[in-house]
Amino acid sequence: MGILYNQVADQLQELIRDGVYRDGDRLPGVRMLSRQFGVSISTILQAHQTLEARGFLQARERSGYFVRLPAVDAPEPVMRRHRSRPVPVSAREMTLDLCADEQKRMVPLATAIPHPDYLPLRQIQQSTLWAARRGLETLDYAFPGKESFRRQIAQRMATLGVPITPDDVLATNGAQEAIILALRAVTQPGDIVAVESPSFPGILQALEVVGLKVIEIPTHPSEGLSLEGLQLALEQWPLKACVVVTNHSNPMGARMSDERKKQLVSMLAAANVPLIEDDIYGDLYHSGDRPRPAKAFDRTDSVIYCSSFSKTISPGLRLGWMVPGRFMASARQHKYFVNLATSSIPQMAVAHFLEQGGYDRYLRSARQHYRESTERLRTAVARSFPEGTAVSRPQGGFVLWVQLPDGVSGTRVYQKARAESINVAPGLMFSTANKYENCLRLNSANPWSERIEQAVARLGAMAHEDQAARD
Amino acid sequence: MGILYNQVADQLQELIRDGVYRDGDRLPGVRMLSRQFGVSISTILQAHQTLEARGFLQARERSGYFVRLPAVDAPEPVMRRHRSRPVPVSAREMTLDLCADEQKRMVPLATAIPHPDYLPLRQIQQSTLWAARRGLETLDYAFPGKESFRRQIAQRMATLGVPITPDDVLATNGAQEAIILALRAVTQPGDIVAVESPSFPGILQALEVVGLKVIEIPTHPSEGLSLEGLQLALEQWPLKACVVVTNHSNPMGARMSDERKKQLVSMLAAANVPLIEDDIYGDLYHSGDRPRPAKAFDRTDSVIYCSSFSKTISPGLRLGWMVPGRFMASARQHKYFVNLATSSIPQMAVAHFLEQGGYDRYLRSARQHYRESTERLRTAVARSFPEGTAVSRPQGGFVLWVQLPDGVSGTRVYQKARAESINVAPGLMFSTANKYENCLRLNSANPWSERIEQAVARLGAMAHEDQAARD
């Protein structure tokens, strides 16, 4: 027996080395391998354990055995320590309509959009059919939000350590609108607002919509916003708000620890500066438990919590929400001013889906997929890109932040890639001050495919060419 | 025979005088009356014609005979000729959350919302079910709008004399958002924009959102915006845009004639000032043909057309659109900034409904209903309110503008009415300058009922009391 399972392990190892099973591939099931090798299932299981011990396979709960991804040699990006001055936001030149219809035929590595294969299509369809049959309820204005939706949100928020009632919830057209309403509620045009750097472009655009100045705070690739940087800014400028993606921030995937969230909340409370928290990636943690939002540590009701289902259930619903706390009256009025209410059917459908209880089950599989697809893309980037390239190690979500070696231009790579129908997000989008010219953000939500593999190889080659042209 | 039908007519007239059939009531069908009076159908028809000639009945095509509403003695409001200076808009104090959940139990005379009984519930439900079954399409971002929706809009716009392609259409969360995007596309904060006076509060709120100054142009209750007033404003102030509800303007129901629309368009084109046209009530004309939008007379691509299905198919869809013409690039970018895209399912459902062809059939019955309900409410107001009250004669839509005698306060009536759970819109909402303190706007979309009748009687009594207290 001992000899037999070792023989099977050797043969499997050879198949891996020959590329029959490639990095990240799932091995066939034990029954199938048992037939294939003509051995018992327990022999196959022993062979698997042997290969796991040798570092070739990786077991994943309820999913079977996978070819282990090689340790990636790319380092994490380092935090850029910079001192900034507040500047008016003009995101015009850096908005590139990355998700317009025209771009839908390109290799989709640009936008932070979940992949359709991993959305809960069947469940949301069932819930939408249910909602459509409700008749008159679907036609009614839903200001400040459908009660059923707000109740489900209140229930979920309670599980995150934020005990609220449905009346504390305002339904919005996605988190983007929630952030704009939050900014309107606590600032006047011309005010200064602190954001992470690199920053999600939507937040910079929100600041532009409201006519605000921005100060960019250095952000650590895994620990998140620099509290020291924020403290400096608080001492130096009359900040009126601070916008932070606390969990799996876009573009770097950083997650602030509970300890740092507490410090963030109390620092801002001491300075009487509201925190606008964007938690859209919170549900998509790659391991461990659901991270808490900063709002859970909010003792002075000064955190405006914003989120949406665009990264989990579907971007096409355009359904988000906010918990504005003591700024509710103002946020509510601004919502009424900008478009009166959020469409009823999506709210009813999502409320039904949440009530049915399928959301958490769905999240489990989505999280596993995004963890794997992100790891896989990270490995591919590390292999294809020039030495000296750094790649983020996101702790959730589905984007990667790629920092090219000094002097290599993310913008040029972006332009060349578009000419080959590969869509990526150039680093310059993530700052008002052109700080990230040598960076790219890649969407890691896609299931692995030949097409993605080749696109990454091409991007790496373009970065090499750009480096060579500079030398 | 001659004697017989006269006898029947006399008896019917008596029933009307005794209140068995009341103003606006539909008479039973000819077959039923024929049985009831024991006479032939042709005798009934002759009796009807006799009563029509006497002014007691009114025939309506395909609907039968109705008790004629008495000629209303209330005059139309007169146009207020006023000279204004541009002022910053602060709509805060006049926003009263008229359509928040809390108000849903009140008698609904405040908001300009269609009545649920007259929405195409069955059709939109069918179309929503159809859309829900489309699967992945429903989950996808729809920027700048679902192609199927934009195509249907382009087809409808062509019938209004505006030949465009689907690429000329931007889907929005209702017309309110479209107006805000239009303002953002053509103005900078601090700019001066001309609007009608009295003005739809949503337009004033839109101006506030964008940080604009307003100049209010006198508006005739049936002919619409004063072109002379606009000319004066153009000569005196550096206007950057002019926002007009060209067809059945809210609150007065005015409709500009084609001739005046042409003049409006050419005056503004000559001054290089874009026209933002809000046409949400265009489909709800009470008689004649669908009035054309001003956009149909636009030779310089300077009219930004905005509309929505909130007054026709359903307010809960939050689905509108705009045709920004040469301002498309900017409008599109602002849409992306504020909330990325409009929810997919409502767009797909409405596109399907329009494609199926049921929309025009539905509109025919909705128009007839709103014409009748508006006429009926107008009669009731004329009867109940103090002498000297003027009431608008809208040519479409479903709101009435009530101008109380000098010194009677619309705000006080509004406050007293709320204490009795009757919701009306006070005149002060329709201007930044408190010009319409003695006015009220009433929603005339409701089907006639004891509850509405009593509410109007109470409002009239309150106005009488307010007048008496002043004397």
Per-residue pLDDT averaged across A3-29, rounded?
83
Strand, coil or helix: A200:
coil
pLDDT of residue A204: 94
In a mutagenesis test of the A interface, which of B118, B141, B167 is the best target, namely the one with the most A β-carbons within 10 Å? B141
User: How far B316 CA lies from chain A's nearest CA (Å)?
Assistant: 4
Phi-psi label, residue B135: left if phi above 0, alpha if psi -120 to 50, beta otherwise? left
Per-residue pLDDT averaged across B370-395, rounded?
94
User: How far B219 CA lies from chain A's nearest CA (Å)?
Assistant: 24
pLDDT digits (tens, 9 = 90+) for A272-318: 999 999 999 999 999 999 999 999 999 999 999 999 999 999 999 99
Q: Are residues A318 and A205 in the same domain?
A: yes
pLDDT of residue B98: 60
Q: Are residues A170 and A251 in the same domain?
A: yes
The residue out of B67, B86, B112 marking a domain boundary is B67
Q: Are residues A343 and A373 in the same domain?
A: no
pLDDT digits (tens, 9 = 90+) for B328-364: 999 999 999 999 999 999 999 999 999 999 899 999 9
Per-residue pLDDT averaged across B165-190, rounded?
97
Of A135, A316, A333, which is closest to B141 when you measure between CB atoms? A316
In a mutagenesis test of the B interface, which of A98, A105, A141, A183 is the best target, namely the one with the most B β-carbons within 10 Å? A141
DSSP 8-state secondary structure symbol assigned to residue A397: S
Q: Are residues A383 and A234 in the same domain?
A: no
Q: Look at residue B289 and tell me whether its pLDDT is greater than 50.
A: yes
Q: Which residue of A has its CA nearest to B202?
A: A337
Which chain A residues have a beta carbon less than 8 Å from that of B99?
141, 143, 340
Contact between A139 and B99 using a beta-carbon 8 Å cutoff: no
pLDDT of residue B2: 55
pLDDT digits (tens, 9 = 90+) for B303-326: 999 999 999 999 999 999 999 999
pLDDT of residue A1: 46
By the 10 Å C-beta count (0-12 exposed, 13-18 middle, 19+ buried), B406 is classed as exposed
Q: Which residue of B has its CA nearest to A190?
A: B189
Per-residue pLDDT averaged across A72-93, rounded?
73
pLDDT of residue B57: 87
Mean pLDDT lowest among A340-344, A425-429, B53-57: B53-57
Contact between B144 and A100 using a beta-carbon 8 Å cutoff: yes
Which chain A residues have a beta carbon less than 8 Å from that of B128?
128, 131-132, 138, 345
Domain count for chain B, please give it. Answer: 2
Residue A74 inside a domain? The answer is no
pLDDT of residue A349: 96
Q: Are residues B212 and B289 in the same domain?
A: yes
Distance CA A244, CA A203 (A): 9
Dihedral sign, CA of B408, B412, B418, B424? positive
User: How far A452 CA lies from chain B's nearest CA (Å)?
Assistant: 20
Strand, coil or helix: A281:
coil
Q: Are residues A186 and A267 in the same domain?
A: yes
Q: How far is CA A405 from CA A93, A96, B371, in A?
A: 24, 24, 71
pLDDT of residue A71: 61
Number of CB pairs, chain A paired with chain B, less than 8 A apart: 199
Residue B415 inside a domain? The answer is no
Q: Which residue of A has its CA nearest to B341?
A: A318
Residue A329 inside a domain? The answer is yes
User: How far A153 CA lies from chain B's nearest CA (Å)?
Assistant: 18
Going by C-beta distance under 8 Å and a sequence separation of 6 or more, which residues neighbour residue A411? A426, A427, A428, A437
CATH number at residue A22: 1.10.10.10
Please give the residue range of the domain that contains residue B11: 2-67
Contact between A344 and B113 using a beta-carbon 8 Å cutoff: no
Q: Look at residue B37 and tell me whether its pLDDT is greater than 90.
A: no
Q: Look at residue A132 and tell me whether its pLDDT is greater than 50.
A: yes
Contact between B340 and A176 using a beta-carbon 8 Å cutoff: yes
Q: Look at residue B13 and tell me whether its pLDDT is greater than 90.
A: no
Which chain B residues have a beta carbon less than 8 Å from that of A317?
139, 343-345
pLDDT digits (tens, 9 = 90+) for B421-444: 999 999 999 998 788 999 999 999
Distance CA B451, CA B246 (A): 33
pLDDT of residue A78: 80
pLDDT digits (tens, 9 = 90+) for B121-162: 999 999 999 999 998 899 988 889 999 999 999 999 999 999
Which chain B residues have a beta carbon less than 8 Å from that of A147?
101
pLDDT of residue B87: 82
Q: What is the 3-state secondary structure (H, E, C) of B80-128?
A: CCCCCCCEECCCHHHCCCCCCHHHHHCEECCCCCCCHHHCCHHHHHHHH
In a mutagenesis test of the B interface, which of A99, A117, A343 is the best target, namely the one with the most B β-carbons within 10 Å? A343
Residue B258 inside a domain? The answer is yes
Residue A27 inside a domain? The answer is yes
Residue A370 inside a domain? The answer is yes
Distance CA B251, CA B262 (A): 23
Residue B333 inside a domain? The answer is yes
In DSSP terms, which residues pair with A422 in a beta bridge? A107
Helices (H) and strands (E) in chain A, counts: 14, 17
CATH number at residue B301: 3.40.640.10
Distance CA A134, CA A136 (A): 6
User: How far B239 CA lies from chain A's nearest CA (Å)?
Assistant: 21
The residue out of B330, B357, B384 marking a domain boundary is B357
Contact between B140 and A208 using a beta-carbon 8 Å cutoff: no
Q: Are residues A281 and A389 in the same domain?
A: no
Contact between A139 and B316 using a beta-carbon 8 Å cutoff: yes
Contact between A143 and B177 using a beta-carbon 8 Å cutoff: no
Per-residue pLDDT averaged across A349-360, rounded?
94
Report helix, strand and coil shares of chain A as percent, to nearest 5.
50, 15, 35
pLDDT digits (tens, 9 = 90+) for B56-66: 888 887 778 88
CATH number at residue A452: 3.90.1150.10
Per-residue pLDDT averaged across B364-382, rounded?
94
Of B173, B176, B202, which is closest to A173 when you measure between CB atoms? B173
Contact between B124 and A139 using a beta-carbon 8 Å cutoff: yes
pLDDT of residue A73: 63
Q: Look at residue B225 and tell me whether its pLDDT is greater than 50.
A: yes
Q: Are residues A288 and A346 in the same domain?
A: yes
Contact between A176 and B339 using a beta-carbon 8 Å cutoff: yes
pLDDT of residue B1: 46
Contact between A340 and B176 using a beta-carbon 8 Å cutoff: yes
pLDDT of residue B73: 62
User: How far A41 CA lies from chain B's nearest CA (Å)?
Assistant: 39
The residue out of A358, A375, A396 marking a domain boundary is A358
Q: How far is CA B35 from CA A135, A272, B27, B30, in A?
A: 39, 80, 14, 9
Phi-psi label, residue A262: left if phi above 0, alpha if psi -120 to 50, beta otherwise? alpha
pLDDT of residue B99: 53
Question: In terms of pLDDT, which residue wins out, A162 or A24?
Answer: A162
Per-residue pLDDT averaged across A180-199, rounded?
97
Confidence of residue B55 (pLDDT cuts 50, 70, 90): confident
pLDDT digits (tens, 9 = 90+) for A317-339: 999 999 999 999 999 999 999 99
pLDDT digits (tens, 9 = 90+) for A217-268: 999 999 999 999 999 999 999 999 999 999 999 999 999 999 999 999 999 9
Q: Look at residue A64 and tell me whether its pLDDT is greater than 90.
A: no
Q: Are residues B138 and B234 in the same domain?
A: yes
Distance CA B377, CA B360 (A): 25
Contact between B205 and A315 using a beta-carbon 8 Å cutoff: no
Q: Are residues B50 and B157 in the same domain?
A: no
pLDDT of residue A394: 95
Q: Are residues A259 and A349 in the same domain?
A: yes
Structure-token pair, residue B357: 């062809």
Spatial CA neighbour of B220 closest among B193, B194, B257:
B257
Confidence of residue A374 (pLDDT cuts 50, 70, 90): very high
Distance CA B109, CA B423 (A): 5
pLDDT of residue B76: 83
Q: Look at residue B179 and tell me whether its pLDDT is greater than 90.
A: yes
Residue B169 inside a domain? The answer is yes
User: How far B171 CA lies from chain A's nearest CA (Å)?
Assistant: 13
Cβ atoms of residues B50 and B2 within 8 Å: no
Q: Are residues A447 and A464 in the same domain?
A: yes
**CA torsion angle B32 B34 B35 B40 (round to 10):** -150
Distance CA A353, CA A228 (A): 42
Contact between A340 and B116 using a beta-carbon 8 Å cutoff: no
pLDDT digits (tens, 9 = 90+) for A416-471: 999 999 999 999 999 987 889 999 999 999 999 999 999 999 999 999 999 999 87
DSSP 8-state secondary structure symbol assigned to residue A206: H
